[in-house]
Copies of this chain bind each other. A is one copy, B any other.
Amino acid sequence: MRQPIGHKTWAIAEGYIPAWSHGPAPEMTSHETVSILNAGDEDARVRIWVYFEDRAPIGPYELGVAARRTRHFRFNDLEDPEPIPKDTNYSSVIEADQPIVVQHTRIDTRQDANALLSTMAYAELRS
């Protein structure tokens, strides 16, 4: 059996949902995604905290990623405890009770052709 892959604590310093879009929804709606791979044999409970420039962090957003599954969560769709405002700088911390792998992606369709960014999140090696 394969060893678990990843870590339990990850962080994404960049965060920004563009306020407008160009092209058919939902594919071309400007959005940010946190992609979470749980390659292990146990379901993972995931909690996300969102940090802002000028107010206290909000969270946890409580999510689940089943064993041997991936989930690509749009920050745009997070609702509980509250939606994340658009056109606002934020960061996020992702914690799980099982090792996971986390990647951050944005699609920005504010102008005539979309732009993309992506990076592996920061893995806290002590986790």
Which A residues have a C-beta under 8 Å from some C-beta of B? 3, 5-6, 9, 11-16, 18-19, 22-23, 27-28, 33, 35-37, 39, 49, 51-54, 56-57, 68-72, 87, 89-91, 93, 101-127
Contacts and interface: CB of A to CB of B under 8 A. Distances in A.
B93 A70 contact: no
B101 A108 contact: no
How many copies of this chain are found per oligomer? 4
B37 A51 contact: yes
A80 B6 CA distance: 27
A55 to B, nearest CB: 8
Given A56-B68, A105-B117, A126-B3, A51 B39 contact: yes
A89 B70 contact: yes
